[in-house]
Structure 1
Amino acid sequence: MRFLFIAALITIPLAGQADTARKATLTITGNSTCNHGGRIDVQTSTDVIPLTLPPVDGPVQGKGKYSVSGTLGPYTLSGPSASSGHVRDDSDLVLTYGQWNYNGEWMNSSAPFVPTQGQPVVIPLDPGAETVVSFTNAGPPEAPCTGQMVYKIDFTRETQVWQVSLPGHVRLVYHNRYEQVDPATGVYSPLNYTHGFTFRYKMAAEVTLEKRKGSWQYKSGTVTQAQVAPEYEQAPPLYQVTGQSCARCNKVAALKGTAIGGTSDGKTLTLNWPDIRPAATVYSKFAMKCAPGPSFSSCQNKIKYGTSFSDDEGYFLWRAGEQVLPLQDGPHAFKDGKPTNTSTLEIVHNYNLMRVK
């Protein structure tokens, strides 16, 4: 049996303000085997104690009910119980006191698994967290016990859940100027040619924020949509497209269902999108009539054997991971890029946030 001695009940004020305190349940379960001079007693116990947790730091106490049963007899006991300690930095529940009441008397055990000031039991302050205290040949020499006690804390932290959608694109096209030759007249004239890719994205995530130490913090996130599709454009259509491929587009798609990190201060949100850089390739053949002259043979080869053009995109996810989003329902757009004489870069992120819990 549990070995007890009489002690007075220590009264500690409840901590925390009524509007910010959190209800919790401390459950202590025990399993042990005790040797009473060759007679074996297998003992199991359960102790359930309601608690009120302060928002960040402060003392904690509660009264509950215990029950214990043993095989030597057999026997069952039950009655009121008490436990106390304090919350440390909203990170740990530190138990420093535990009692059972038997036949109207409060009895505090000297067993090594019972929390005291000098031998506290520390439970991480996370919903469902447990601390296991094991012991061997504990108690009086005439009835040593071996087993374990499991201390478990159950409570609910305040959370927010946000759905974040991120459609957008990166358009990168190049401006070239050629001297075209009229095959009939041999007259040269300038030809402005623009071509390149637009990488279109559809990304989304669901994010959970959690209140810790009195403030909102990023807890977890999951990517719920991940797509990218490169589109080739050219003007005028000098080349006939015969095929297209995309390297690392599949890596973007594979993000769906994976975890995504982030940061939040309760007012803003930043998501740690991974820096994946898709590369698109288009296969084509020259669609115009070749003009006579030094480049005629090369032009003919472009028609006969075809050619290819490749480009990668290293802006969208990298930039998305740097953008600070106000935690407000609605759209939050970011645009960047400008045309030059040789190219046009356009980067568009159309974030939309919606709180769902």
Structure 2
Amino acid sequence: MSDSNTTDFTNPSTFILLGIPGLEAAHVWISIPFCAMYVIAILGNFTILFIVKREPSLHGPMYYFLCMLAITDLVLSTSTLPKTLSIFWFNSREIDFSACLTQMYFIHCFSAIESGIFVALALDRYVAICHPLRYSTILTNPIVAKIGLAVVLRGGILALPYPFLARQWPYCRTNIIPQPYCAHIAVVNLACADTRVSSYYGLFVLFCVMGLDVIFIVVSYLEILRAIFSLPTMDARLKTLGTCSSHLFLILAFYIPGLFISLISRFGQNVPLHSHVLIANVYLLMPPMLNPIIYGLRTKQIQSRLLRVFTHEGA
């Protein structure tokens, strides 16, 4: 008698998401920090959007990019966390095949968009520090809109082959995905076919997104550092460098774990599965939670507007 582990099918009607394999008994406890991080991400990113929309003085390139980042973080976290929490709380493990492919697309699309926005923020810092007198003429609203559109189109187009590649493979081994969401590699690893095309395409996207974006960011910051060290006083250097600190911290928090997870998913056979899955889940949650906190705490304009809103409402 066949079961869900051995049933022959080409396209399964559903996949079974296991959550975090090996830590099922701790799912309820794990859900507490996950839920807290999700709530912080939702509140923080909506706050950024509210403050920028409310204050005309914040209607500038950097804050437009921050709004794009906030929207991206909201979509990225919401594409995975509600289903993850339903697994942890209600043992709701089934996900429709088409819904799984849709979730896969959103994860990879908005991860690529987030990377592109970090590049746009690096460009903003480069122009602001290296060409301050030409800032308003270089980063005009039409240019910002074109940059935003290019970032969204790049992410959307590069992620589009993921669900189409995953749909074409025959799935005759199992329909059980050993994690709480449908990542591309996790799904195609279930196929009973030669899926090297999917693996090679994943590496190609990793290079096109993280590889090229990191190169662009490094080149931008080399120019920024050269401009900073040409300033006459140490106080001026530290003050200018401080305007980049938020961006630098979030870049490290986004790219280093992302590169680590991509590598161990392909080559880390000796890494315990539950450790890999737990790290991957935290990675998807950390940027949406950290971005509004770091930019909110480190950006004086946002701080002052936020305080003004609360003091005005409390008065």
When normalised by structure 2's length, the TM-score is 0.25
For the pair shown, the structure with the greater C-alpha radius of gyration is: 1
Which structure's residues are more often helix, by fraction? 2
When normalised by structure 1's length, the TM-score is 0.23
Which structure's residues are more often strand, by fraction? 1
